């Protein structure tokens, strides 16, 4: 995926479809996103090395008391809460290693917990502006329409609740056999270096309040990464390798944004307006806008898809909410549908869990139409 994105970006730059000035403007706008991406990936990698996730997995297994369904409900609660408060990208990076380590220790099927994490990272990401970077972009447009946080929450809470409940129901149906398994609680993992363990655990715990403080999320993520790099440089320098940097993900994100910027410069907004419609005049029109947004997210990632479609939906808060439903909930068909999914797959690969594109797609084809329809219907009840 990364090399396709890179070739596409080089193509639009080399042919002049996107000027150097416009490209620099795109890089400047997504700079905080890239810093956040690199920083949280470094934090996750070093925290995993410090055995933070192994210990957290053991504690979760203890709370589950030998019942997989009880343990799964705990993961559902954690995935939902961490997504709402910390953002879907942080939930994908920090929670995925915990649940995969837990599944490995308990000898449980990892896909149950892996899909629970990534799906709820998407479908629980509408409630608060901080839950998704697309929401933060939309909040700026809400302010342009003289709408505030209260107006955002008034539009978002019903679709958000509907999406979460539908996701939990679909997960329970798809993995009902796995949920009936018992397990034996494992012993607590041995921590080799308690300074690194508590330092990494402290950084992970501090990210929550920091991300909801109103500060640009790249700052606390960057500071946290630097703290851990400093600790490891003193106590275990050999763990600091270039493999901690997710350069493929960075190339993918930059390339996708440049491609969408080039297309927008050459009439994409007009085409999207014709496909998605330009007014809300009933349920079918709402579904048309949301479905178009979902298709765009699965094609080029939800962040550039949101930016491409924002002019089509920026006329009223309700249409912006429909756009967010599409790009937030509808991006669960392709492995590049959102930055969180890319981060999640990277964590799965690191843990030795293989998720093929087909395995992801066929499950997404069951969930996505139900979530989109349910969320749009819930919005229409407001």
pLDDT at residue 6, rounded to an integer:
84
pLDDT at residue 290, rounded to an integer:
93
* Structure confidence by residue, pLDDT tens digits, 226-258: 999 999 999 999 999 988 888 887 888 788 888
> What are the structure tokens assigned to 343, written together?
């981060």
Query: What is the full DSSP assignment across 312-370?
Result: HHTTSHHHHHHHHHHHHHS--SSTTSSHHHHHHHHHHHHTT----HHHHHHHHHHHHHH
pLDDT at 277 over 70: no
- Residues 6 or more apart whose CB falls under 8 angstroms from that of 40 comprise 89, 90, 93, 94, 207, 221, 225, 343
> In this predicted structure, which of 163-177, 241-255, 351-365 has the lowest mean pLDDT?
241-255
pLDDT at residue 51, rounded to an integer:
87
Place of tokens 């959102």: 338
DSSP SS3 for 67: strand
Give the dihedral of Cα atoms 251, 255, 258, 260; nearest 10 deg.
-140
* Structure confidence by residue, pLDDT tens digits, 323-355: 999 999 999 999 989 888 988 998 899 888 999
Q: Residues 343, 89: contact at Cβ < 8 Å? A: yes
300 band by pLDDT with thresholds 50, 70 and 90: confident
pLDDT at residue 371, rounded to an integer:
97
Q: Which residue has the higher pLDDT, 361 or 63?
A: 361
Average pLDDT, the chain: 87
pLDDT at residue 126, rounded to an integer:
93
Q: Which residue has the higher pLDDT, 271 or 294?
A: 294
pLDDT at 90 over 80: no
Mean local confidence (pLDDT), 130-150: 83
Q: What percent of the chain has pLDDT over 70?
A: 96
Q: Residues 326, 306: contact at Cβ < 8 Å? A: no
pLDDT at residue 1, rounded to an integer:
62
- Helix residue spans in the chain (DSSP H): 2-14, 20-49, 52-64, 68-86, 88-106, 110-123, 133-144, 149-174, 176-179, 194-211, 218-235, 247-265, 268-276, 283-300, 302-313, 317-329, 339-350, 357-380
- Residues 6 or more apart whose CB falls under 8 angstroms from that of 377 comprise 162, 283
Q: What percent of the chain has pLDDT over 90?
A: 37
pLDDT at residue 271, rounded to an integer:
72
pLDDT at residue 322, rounded to an integer:
94
pTM (2 d.p.):
0.80
Q: Which residue has the higher pLDDT, 122 or 260?
A: 122
Q: Which residue has the higher pLDDT, 90 or 141?
A: 141
Domain spans, the chain: 2-380
pLDDT at residue 120, rounded to an integer:
96
Q: How far apart are CA 81 and CA 74, in angstroms?
A: 11
Give me the sign of the Cα torsion angle 76, 77, 82, 83.
positive
> In this predicted structure, which of 95-104, 118-127, 260-269 has the lowest mean pLDDT?
260-269
pLDDT at residue 214, rounded to an integer:
65
Q: Residues 45, 244: contact at Cβ < 8 Å? A: yes
* Structure confidence by residue, pLDDT tens digits, 177-232: 999 999 887 777 788 899 999 999 999 888 877 866 767 778 888 999 999 999 99
Query: What is the full DSSP assignment across 69-94?
Result: HHHHHHHHHHHHHHHHHH-HHHHHHH
């Amino acid at each position: 995926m990364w090399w396709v994105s890179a070739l596409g970006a080089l193509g639009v730059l080399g042919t002049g479809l996107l000027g150097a000035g416009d490209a620099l403007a795109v890089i400047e706008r997504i700079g905080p996103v890239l810093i956040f991406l690199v920083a949280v990936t470094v934090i996750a990698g070093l925290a995993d090395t410090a055995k933070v996730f192994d210990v957290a997995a053991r504690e979760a297994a203890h709370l589950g008391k030998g019942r997989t369904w009880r343990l799964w409900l705990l993961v559902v609660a954690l995935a939902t809460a961490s997504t709402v408060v910390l953002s879907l990208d942080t939930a994908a990076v920090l929670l995925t290693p915990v649940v995969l380590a837990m599944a490995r220790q308990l000898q449980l099927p990892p896909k149950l917990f892996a899909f629970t994490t990534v799906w709820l990272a998407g479908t629980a990401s509408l409630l608060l502006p901080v839950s998704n970077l697309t929401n933060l972009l939309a909040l700026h447009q809400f302010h342009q329409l003289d709408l505030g946080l209260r107006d955002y929450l008034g539009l978002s809470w019903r679709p958000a609740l509907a999406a979460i409940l539908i996701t939990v129901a679909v997960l329970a149906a798809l993995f009902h056999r796995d949920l009936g398994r018992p397990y034996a609680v494992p012993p607590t993992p041995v921590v080799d270096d308690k300074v690194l363990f508590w330092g990494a655990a402290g950084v992970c715990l501090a990210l929550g309040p920091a991300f909801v403080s109103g500060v640009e999320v790249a700052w606390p993520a960057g500071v946290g990464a630097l703290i851990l790099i400093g600790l490891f440089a003193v106590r275990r320098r050999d763990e600091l390798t270039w493999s901690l940097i997710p350069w493929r993900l960075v190339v993918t994100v930059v390339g996708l944004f440049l491609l969408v910027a080039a297309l927008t410069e050459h009439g994409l907004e007009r085409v999207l307006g014709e496909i998605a419609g330009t007014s809300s005049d009933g349920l079918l029109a709402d579904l048309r806008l949301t479905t178009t947004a979902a298709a765009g997210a699965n094609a080029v990632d939800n962040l550039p898809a949101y930016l491409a479609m924002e002019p089509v939906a920026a006329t009223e808060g309700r249409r912006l909410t429909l756009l967010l439903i599409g790009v937030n909930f509808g991006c669960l068909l392709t492995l590049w549908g959102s930055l969180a999914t890319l981060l999640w797959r990277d964590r799965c690969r690191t843990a030795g869990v293989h998720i093929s594109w087909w395995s992801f797609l066929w499950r997404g084809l069951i969930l996505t139409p139900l979530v989109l329809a349910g969320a749009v219907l819930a919005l229409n009840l407001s």
